[in-house]
Amino acid sequence: MAPVITSVIVAVVVSVATTLLSLYIFQPVQGQRQIIGELAYATRHYSRATSKVRTDVRDPQEAKAKAEEATQALLVLAARLAASPTTLPLRGKSYKLLESIRLVEPRENVSMASRCLLRGFGTR
Distance of CA 42 to the CA centre of its chain: 13
9-22: string of b/e by CB count within 10 Å (b at 16+)? Answer: eeeeeeeeeeeeee
Domain of 115, in residue numbers? 2-120
Q: How confident is the model at residue 88 (pLDDT cuts 50, 70, 90)?
A: confident
- Is the model's pLDDT at 49 over the cut of 90? no
Residue type present at position 64 = K
Q: How confident is the model at residue 52 (pLDDT cuts 50, 70, 90)?
A: low
Q: What's the structural domain count of the chain?
A: 1
User: Distance between CA atoms of 52 and 108, rounded to whole angstroms?
Assistant: 34
Higher pLDDT among residues 90 and 95, named by residue: 95
Instruction: Supply the pTM of this predicted model.
Output: 0.79
- Position 61 scores a pLDDT of 80
Task: Determine the 3-state secondary structure of 88 from DSSP.
Answer: coil
- Position 35 scores a pLDDT of 97
